[in-house]
Chain A
């Protein structure tokens, strides 16, 4: 029997995309360590929420070193002669001041001055940037770049990332032969290699502690992981999940989209969008730079007190005020808590809360949170005094010391 001589298309069947959570570049290693079998969904990736015990993972952040997989972050490469102009149009900070080899924490807004997202801008060269953030931004970036000489690429899947955070993190990298890592300043970027894999290392993180973020091609990811884990034996390295990180980020004063605020692009109810002023991020808005997205509206907004404000509060006693409402003189509802934590390092009961003006701005007395406690099935309502405080709750000189100490 002869094969048919026709040249009709022989379809190669395209496999259907997988459903469920996708394994990331470090998945094999994470799965082996995830004794609690506790995963969460981060941009479709399987991200550990806790591997062993939240408590011990958390303490490793503040005492030794921790490893957290940040590969699921959205990452965009922005390059070309107009790259600086495009990024400067996007974010509210003056990115012209950001030197090559440096990172800046930024927010960006829509035309109404409402916050779209926050993230970090890495400047690798005069015409080369990378944006790291939580939410997909490709079309938003392309809209802004329209007419500019620039290329924008979604490189989310091309770069694996690890956050190495904690007091011994610098010593650990030094043990691995990263010469000069100790002179990398906060928000600096350097090029190194580990186990023959080229890495970009930035002194950045989400913990408010000494720490680094390591960026590499996914092919080298496991080799880097194994080398870090081996060196980490002497430095108390521990792999952590999201829950521990979340505790550290609350202490460190970082806000989380979808928890503390919503992106203007995702809200259904217009009044749910927020301005930089309401978030207390005035310092990120450079009104003195030329046109950028939202500038005109922000100029206007900057002149009047915000109608509400996200503030850091400290609460009496020790029960975290999850999802609590805030009252003035125990009677009038004036706001709500978004993130709450008993801080094991500060030994304070802390939270972020949205407060309607003038509370949290000019009226800071007689504020109470309503905490619901379940004690052996029975619910108890507790009114606890609270008062606005400065962010962050946790700071430590080791975060910024250059060179960093051994621990």
Chain B
């Protein structure tokens, strides 16, 4: 069978690209190895009555322009913001990050009046960086090597924005993109717990510690999203993150697209340097002169492409591209709402993201364990109970806890990621939570444990890296994934990339998918408005 375009992988980026293809009137097919769509944005029911957001669990980065252009609300997507969050320390105190600005200020003052002022300075500094980077998200990064006219105009666009910052800000921006989150926060805050709360966003998903250079950018990557115009706000997708990709699949099908699930890509068919179609593991063959891969760059070119078809420097670049899985995930069904010894009764911040930490050093020690090939003895956790807000994921009165764990290595120094080690890993996490929530353990009805290895095996994210590759400066913008190939094209004509391995990177954002679609449509000579004006 012949299609105008085939998309490999029904992750949210593959789906986004596919939606735009179908909307442009192309006969479009998606092939997905699993028997459900979503990749790392998925909701599955593993025990009756409960639905988990098995991988990603909170939403902010998904570009509003994409939500609107693909009419995702009409197809069932609803994003609900959540209220703040908190960190509990071992001494029984907490710092609550409250969404009400006046309340937050009072809470900051409770810890340190100086930090209350520092917070305003910090918020402004980060917001400035957001203003700088946001317009770059839905644009193709310029290629400073090729310097075609469009690259020059894009470079000028960036330089102009950069220049608008003013001399001091320019220096600040360069520092920001390369410095560590710990050093960055030390400029504004003195309270260890407050720094620890904010620093979490700088290390989530990376193989870096809070004192490693480059982590300030990772914070920005988590801050540049929005919910209804509130920059930096996070929300739940009603029904779990899978409802995002379900809505995308419906939007795609409404435009006439076709999805085939249950058999993965075996290889791309390439002839004379041009892509001709795909062969699936079950032997099915489909033809198309445009094939877009939503898999990460290593899978796409090392596992599924004949190396002979690729220039050596490109292959070297792909092999050099770093993944480094560092995160695990626990999804837990609870028989009731756990109590937290440190929290006042009915505290609203329990509806947000919770952490159990004393200071940034504790995160750094957790990172040290990872470097040694062990999961952290005292891990950083991002713990949420979405069912306090979302009535659809557990029966009334029962709850679902999503627990993101940093750090867990892809390869263990001692042994394999077998059931025993998975259990031991979960036990480390649960016993840490138990110190702050004594009834947590006995409320557990069911749990799903995912190591980086499981994430690789089940979701297809190489080494379990949640972003399809590290978000370090050397792998961003025109360097993502490989210098000279940052514009979604590959050395093979007609074969494109649209996953998080491409600019602007990982997270449930959709920007790589939309940008790739724009480049493909341009190559095909379609001059259509994708409806993405902000």
Contact = CB atoms under 8 A, between A and B. Distances in A.
Interface of A: 52-53, 55-56, 59, 62-64, 167-168, 171, 175, 234-236, 316-318, 342, 344-348, 406-407
Given A235-B391, A347-B72, A63 B238 contact: yes
B391 A347 contact: no
B164 to A, nearest CB: 14
Nearest to B76: A396
Given A235-B391, A347-B68, A347-B73, A63 B100 contact: no
Contacts of B73: 345-348
- Shortest Cβ-Cβ A-B pairs, 8 listed: A407-B391, A234-B396, A344-B228, A347-B67, A59-B80, A347-B73, A346-B73, A347-B68
B391 A318 contact: no
Given A55-B228, A234-B397, A347-B67, 6 more contacts: A64-B391, A167-B391, A171-B396, A318-B229, A342-B228, A342-B229
A318 B67 CA distance: 12
Nearest to A316: B533
Contacts of B534: 317-318
Contact of B64 (A53, A175, A347): A347
A392 B389 CA distance: 26
B90 interface: no
Given A63-B389, A168-B391, A317-B533, A345 B78 contact: yes
Interface residues of B, number: 26
20 contacts: A59-B80, A62-B80, A63-B238, A64-B389, A168-B391, A234-B396, A235-B396, A236-B391, A318-B64, A318-B229, A342-B229, A345-B73, A345-B78, A346-B73, A346-B74, A347-B228, A348-B68, A348-B73, A406-B391, A407-B391
A52 B391 contact: no
B83 interface: yes
A63 B228 contact: no
Contacts of A406: 391
Given A342-B229, A347-B67, A347-B73, A53 B391 contact: no
B428 interface: no
Interface string B66-84: 0110001110001011010
B392 A52 contact: no
A236 B81 CA distance: 14
Contacts of A53: 83, 99-100
Most buried by A among B67, B78, B99, B390: B78
Contacts of B78: 62-63, 345
Interface of B: 64, 67-68, 72-74, 78, 80-81, 83, 99-100, 227-230, 238, 388-392, 396-397, 533-534
A38 to B, nearest CB: 13
Contacts of A347: 64, 67-68, 72-73, 228
A168 B389 CA distance: 12
A234 B337 CA distance: 11
B64 A55 contact: no
A347 B66 CA distance: 10
A346 B74 CA distance: 7
Contacts of A64: 389, 391
Interface of B is mostly: loop
A236 B83 CA distance: 14
A167 B227 CA distance: 21
Chain B CB within 10 A, most for which of A55, A171, A235: A55
A345 B68 CA distance: 11
A303 B67 CA distance: 42
A32 to B, nearest CB: 13
Nearest to B103: A35
A236 B394 CA distance: 13
A168 to B, nearest CB: 5
B81 A56 contact: yes
A357 B56 CA distance: 50
Nearest to A234: B396
B405 to A, nearest CB: 28
Contacts of A55: 81, 228, 230
A62 B390 CA distance: 11
Contacts of A235: 391, 396
B389 A236 contact: yes
Contacts of A56: 81, 83
Contacts of A167: 391
A63 B533 contact: no
A175 B534 CA distance: 44
A64 B396 CA distance: 11
B99 A407 contact: no
B392 A407 contact: yes
Given A53-B99, A64-B389, A344-B228, A59 B81 contact: yes
A171 B229 CA distance: 32
A318 B534 CA distance: 7
Contacts of A344: 227-228
A234 B394 CA distance: 11
A191 to B, nearest CB: 26
B199 to A, nearest CB: 26
Nearest to A56: B83
Contacts of B100: 52-53
Contacts of B99: 53
Given A52-B100, A406-B391, A63 B80 contact: yes
Given A235-B396, A342-B229, A63 B68 contact: no
A57 to B, nearest CB: 12
Nearest to B100: A53
B59 to A, nearest CB: 12
Of B72, B227, B391, chain A has the most CB atoms within 10 Å of the CB of: B391
A236 B397 CA distance: 10
A59 to B, nearest CB: 5
A52 B346 CA distance: 15
A5 to B, nearest CB: 66
B2 to A, nearest CB: 35
Contacts of A317: 533-534
B338 to A, nearest CB: 16
A401 to B, nearest CB: 15
A348 B68 CA distance: 7
